[in-house]
Amino acid sequence: MDFKLEIAKVISQSLSNIELDEIISMIEIPPNPDMGDYAFPCFRLAKVFRKSPVQIAEEAVANINKPDFIDEIKSVSGYINFFINKSVFASSILSELLKSKESYGKSDIGKGKNVVIDYSSPNIAKPFHVGHLRSTVIGGSLYRIFKALGYNSIGINHLGDWGTQFGKLIVAYKKWGSKEAIEQNGIKELMEIYVRFHNEAKQDPSLEDEAREWFAKMEAGDEEALSLWNWFKDISLKEFNRVYKLLDISFDSYAGESFYNDKMDAVIKELDEKKLLKESEGAKIVDLEDVNMPPCLITKKDGSSLYATRDITAAIYRKNTYDFEKCIYITALAQNLHFAQWFEVIKRMGYDWHDKLVHVPFGMVSMETGKLSTREGNVVLLEELLNEAITKTQEIIDEKNPDLEDKELVAEKVGIGAVIFNDLINNRIKDVVFSWDKVLNFDGETGPYVQYTHARASSVLRKADTDIDELDIDYSLLTDSSSVEVIKLIGQYPDKILEAANKLEPSFIARHIVDLSQAFNKFYHDNPILVEDKKLKDSRLALVYSVKTVLKSGLYLLGITALEKM
């Protein structure tokens, strides 16, 4: 039963001049169960009916014929509060889950539509540091969320594999680099010579000119320049892929900035033909002064391309290739202006799909020790952070449960899950400070807490050793307050997936499964499950199975493994 819809129909009996969809949109879930299961605020209707909200609510309640699925309807301070029959409520939600099982919460609303998600996108030859974590895990989660709603998710790792920084790296390698050291130490060595370049260039600015010359050679197809660039790229990808494997993140395309080299001239020509280009000090720009933005730089005075050129070209290519419903870009909040500028250029080019381009900004991540900077060499490598999370989890397991089966695997899944969850439970726009004490806490609002709750539910079901499809369920036995609270949260889960997709915010799911874990642990404390009374035992097992199903699904949508034992 869709309770919101059914309650909206009940309200429309006495408020017939308001559209059903508007009534549905106004229905709320009260923060306190004593205020009802659903509430309808009448404040917005005061002007329409020329009456006080209290009077509207009282008159509406007096004119409603109460259906069987509602126990009570009350008018309180301008709200109409509905108390659902708890047996009907439990039966409606749990029977739907028991029928759908692992598909509960999924839908096909996106069937036949493509969503392109551009995430992670680290720079080649630079360390894959903890600052890249947010784009990677937010994108990985949104990829799974859209897939759960029936969309065809297309994950793109738009690698930073082009630009002046490669000119700098070539200069640095030729002056101070060693092939053997780079083969042996990988990105760490590349970073060292890159940092040295910046330090030396402060004293000798001519190094910057040399770097620009080498990048111009790359763009012109110089064999030596491209050979070095390809080598840097191979070394970087080898290291990146180790991290992606740990995070269980994959992509459908690794088409980075260099992929668009032979496609940019046509776009620059199109901009010119559409009379959008202006010359400014030898560079070519699109003037955006009329929308209070700085000009969008398309080519430098030496003719080389920029981020905006490549992003515009990539967007046109992606629309032609994937015909996307949405093209989502997950990058730091600091890039807001960049995206606003080139989105505006796409609009001025006359493309009616400009409004399907979406920038999903996020706040910065920092360690308790301070901010990160590649140029200064002050970085925490993501691979090292993940390995440290695994090691610290292993120590906790050795202390608390040394005989646990497959404890190395459990340590990996809990340690990495903890890092991912710590990122995704935060509203993405907030800055995140990384703290080990908080991340690996098994009692707080953390990944390990949710994974442990899932393992607890799994343990109960293992001990019961019962076929879920054979349970003899009496839903009237699930009407105590702790059972009802769990059932409410199970019922809200499909809406949380939709909300996470609509607002491009995985934290809705992370927060929800923490709330469900807390409610389940209270239920577990209040209600013995494996009791003699078969009907009571089966009814409570149905609830345990439902919680386990939602926790496993929610963890999966965040990119985290649900464990059977911990």
Question: 74, 99, 129, 354: which one is catalytic?
Answer: 129
- DSSP-derived letter for residue 160 is B
- DSSP-derived letter for residue 562 is P
Least confident of 285-289, 440-444, 453-457, 524-528: 440-444
Is the pLDDT at 235 greater than 80? The verdict is yes
CATH assignment at residue 37: 3.30.1360.70
Question: 47, 66, 111, 132: which one is catalytic?
Answer: 132
Residue with token string 């991540």: 365
pLDDT of residue 147: 98
89 lies in some domain? no
Q: Are residues 473 and 516 in the same domain?
A: yes
What tens digit of pLDDT does each residue of 175-186 get? Answer: 999 999 999 998
For the record, the structure tokens of 24 come out as: 């549905």
C-alpha dist (Å) from residue 260 to 271, 312, 552: 16, 10, 40
Backbone angles phi, psi at 403, to 5 degrees: -95, 10
Domain boundary among 34, 65, 84: 84
Nearest to 480 by CA among 563, 393, 539, 554: 539
Q: Are residues 409 and 354 in the same domain?
A: no
Instruction: Give the total number of structural domains in the chain.
Output: 3
Q: Are residues 144 and 247 in the same domain?
A: yes
Cα–Cα distance for residue pair 461/401, rounded to 1 Å: 20
Is the pLDDT at 501 greater than 70? The verdict is yes
If phi > 0 it is left, if psi is from -120 to 50 it is alpha, else beta; for residue 29 that is beta
What tens digit of pLDDT does each residue of 141-155 get? Answer: 999 999 999 999 999
Nearest to 149 by CA among 497, 503, 529: 497
pLDDT of residue 374: 46
Percentage of the chain with pLDDT > 90? 84
Other beta carbons less than 10 A from residue 115's beta carbon: 25
According to DSSP, the residues that pair with 155 across neighbouring strands are 117
DSSP per-residue string spanning 49-87: HTS-HHHHHHHHHHH----TTEEEEEEETTEEEEEE-HH
Is the pLDDT at 327 greater than 70? The verdict is yes
Q: Are residues 175 and 236 in the same domain?
A: yes
Cβ contacts of residue 178 below 8 Å, gap of 6+?
A: 189
Reduced to 3 states (helix: H, G, I; strand: E, B; else coil), residue 289 is helix
* Burial (Cβ within 10 Å: 0-12, 13-18, ≥19) of residue 515: middle
Q: Are residues 11 and 125 in the same domain?
A: no
191 lies in some domain? yes
565 lies in some domain? no
338 is an active site residue: no
Q: Are residues 552 and 468 in the same domain?
A: yes
374 lies in some domain? no
Reduced to 3 states (helix: H, G, I; strand: E, B; else coil), residue 361 is strand
132 is an active site residue: yes
Domain boundary among 84, 99, 127: 84
- DSSP-derived letter for residue 295 is -
Cα–Cα distance for residue pair 212/216, rounded to 1 Å: 6
113 is an active site residue: no
Q: Are residues 221 and 323 in the same domain?
A: yes
Question: Which helix (H) or strand (E) is 332 found in, with range?
Answer: strand 326-332
Nearest to 413 by CA among 516, 251, 559, 517: 559
Is the pLDDT at 375 greater than 60? The verdict is no
- DSSP-derived letter for residue 330 is E
pLDDT of residue 16: 79
What value does the mean pLDDT take over residues 283-304?
92
Domain of 152 in residue numbering reads as: 114-271+303-367
Cα–Cα distance for residue pair 374/382, rounded to 1 Å: 13
226 lies in some domain? yes
Q: Are residues 264 and 329 in the same domain?
A: yes
Sheet containing strand 38-41, edge to edge, reads 38-41, 79-84, 70-76
Reduced to 3 states (helix: H, G, I; strand: E, B; else coil), residue 315 is helix
Q: Are residues 244 and 336 in the same domain?
A: yes
Q: Are residues 222 and 337 in the same domain?
A: yes
Is the pLDDT at 369 greater than 80? The verdict is no
Question: 47, 106, 113, 126: which one is catalytic?
Answer: 126
According to DSSP, the residues that pair with 80 across neighbouring strands are 40, 75
If phi > 0 it is left, if psi is from -120 to 50 it is alpha, else beta; for residue 100 that is alpha
For the record, the structure tokens of 414 come out as: 């809990």
431 lies in some domain? yes
Amino acid identity for residue 93 in this structure: I
pLDDT of residue 469: 95
Reduced to 3 states (helix: H, G, I; strand: E, B; else coil), residue 373 is strand
Is the pLDDT at 376 greater than 60? The verdict is no
* DSSP alpha helix (H) spans, 441-504: 447-464, 481-502
For the record, the structure tokens of 487 come out as: 């059932």
What tens digit of pLDDT does each residue of 9-62 get? Answer: 999 988 878 999 999 999 999 988 889 999 999 999 999 899 999 999 999 999
First to last CA, the chain: 36
- DSSP-derived letter for residue 445 is S
What tens digit of pLDDT does each residue of 415-458 get? Answer: 999 999 999 999 999 988 878 888 888 888 999 999 999 999 99
Produce one character per residue of 172-185: b if its CB has 16 or more CB atoms within 10 Å, e if not: bbeeebeeeebeee
495 lies in some domain? yes
Q: Is the alpha carbon torsion for 61, 67, 73, 78 positive or negative?
A: negative
How many helices (H) and strands (E) the chain has is answered by 21, 12
Least confident of 114-123, 157-166, 296-305: 296-305
- List the Cα angle 102/103/104 in 5-degree steps: 95
Q: Are residues 248 and 128 in the same domain?
A: yes
pTM of the model: 0.91
Percentage of the chain with pLDDT > 70? 98
Q: Are residues 363 and 436 in the same domain?
A: no
* DSSP alpha helix (H) spans, 274-406: 307-322, 336-348, 382-400
Are residues 404 and 455 in contact, defined by beta-carbon separation less than 8 angstroms?
no
Cα–Cα distance for residue pair 472/483, rounded to 1 Å: 17
Are residues 438 and 446 in contact, defined by beta-carbon separation less than 8 angstroms?
yes
- List the Cα angle 42/48/50 in 5-degree steps: 90
Question: How long, in residues, is the chain?
Answer: 566
CATH assignment at residue 121: 3.40.50.620
Can you give the three-state secondary structure of 522-553, one letter per residue? HHHHHCCCCCCCHHHHHHHHHHHHHHHHHHHH
What tens digit of pLDDT does each residue of 68-79 get? Answer: 999 999 999 999
CATH assignment at residue 547: 1.10.730.10
Cα–Cα distance for residue pair 194/208, rounded to 1 Å: 12
pLDDT of residue 372: 46
Is the pLDDT at 378 greater than 60? The verdict is no
Domain boundary among 84, 99, 131: 84
Average of per-residue pLDDT values in the chain = 93
What tens digit of pLDDT does each residue of 344-360 get? Answer: 999 999 999 999 999 99
95 lies in some domain? no
